[in-house]
Amino acid sequence: GKDRTTLRDLIDFLEDGLGYALFLREGRSLHLTPEGEQLQRQAHLLMRQVKAFEAFAKDVPKSAAQEISLVYDPFTPRALLQALIAAMAQRNTRLSLINASRDEAERLLASGQADLGICQARNRSVGDAMEWRALGAIEMDFYASKALFPGAEQPLSLLELSLTPQVIMHPDSDEPV
């Protein structure tokens, strides 16, 4: 059935738990004891703090927008960048993207104009002032001039490509690939 606990039972239970009386009972009326008045003042202060905290907590997602600037080299896959943009948007983080060569990326990182960088390692370490992490493999496609491989079947194997020296310059890259 239904719980028949009365307000009086709840007050008695609270007073028993505290070990002192909160109210003076005169018939059906209740009056706060000095301890009850002190506890009531603290309860009011606590409720104000709770309301202020609740208002602050509701505004956190609106005010917690952060900004990260990411410099990336021309060989960074577009799908990776699009996934990164979507993930940052879900976290209310504004992502500023800068396309630059590896040397320019290192300059931007060193000067504080960029927070993170995604660049090909190209068997070259970064400066002492920076920390690097491997992100894993990035898929790349290989292209070759037909003039270098007359009469060859397409697609060419990596072995066939590697046997013929080729230099590919990207307009945003400082070094040949």
What is the pLDDT, as a whole number, of residue 123? 66
What is the pLDDT, as a whole number, of residue 31? 93
User: Is 88 found in the same domain as 33?
Assistant: no
Helix or strand holding residue 111 (H, E): helix 102-111
The mean of the pLDDT values for the chain is 82
* pLDDT tens digits along 127-148: 666 777 666 666 666 677 788 8
Where a domain ends, among 62, 82, 98? 62
Has residue 110 been placed in a domain?
yes
Task: Residue 35: give its domain's CATH number.
Answer: 1.10.10.10
User: Is 95 found in the same domain as 57?
Assistant: no
User: Is 15 found in the same domain as 53?
Assistant: yes
Question: DSSP per residue over 44-103, as a string?
Answer: HHHHHHHHHHHHHHHHHHHH--EEEEEEE-TTS-HHHHHHHHHHHHHTTEEEEEEE--HH
User: Is 132 found in the same domain as 79?
Assistant: yes
Domain range for 25 is 7-62
* pLDDT tens digits along 40-96: 999 999 999 999 889 888 877 666 558 899 999 888 888 889 999 999 988 888 899
Where a domain ends, among 124, 139, 154? 139
User: Is 103 found in the same domain as 76?
Assistant: yes
d(CA 50, CA 52): 5
HEC-encoded secondary structure of 112-174? CCCCEEECCCCCCCCCCCCCCCCCCCCCCCCCCCHHHCCCCCCCCCHHHHHHCCCCCCCCCCC
Has residue 32 been placed in a domain?
yes
- Residue 31 phi/psi, 5-degree rounding, is -130, 140
Has residue 149 been placed in a domain?
no
User: Is 81 found in the same domain as 19?
Assistant: no
User: Is 101 found in the same domain as 58?
Assistant: no
Q: Considering its fold, how many domains does the chain have in total?
A: 2
What is the pLDDT, as a whole number, of residue 125? 67
User: Is 102 found in the same domain as 57?
Assistant: no
Average pLDDT over residues 29-42: 93
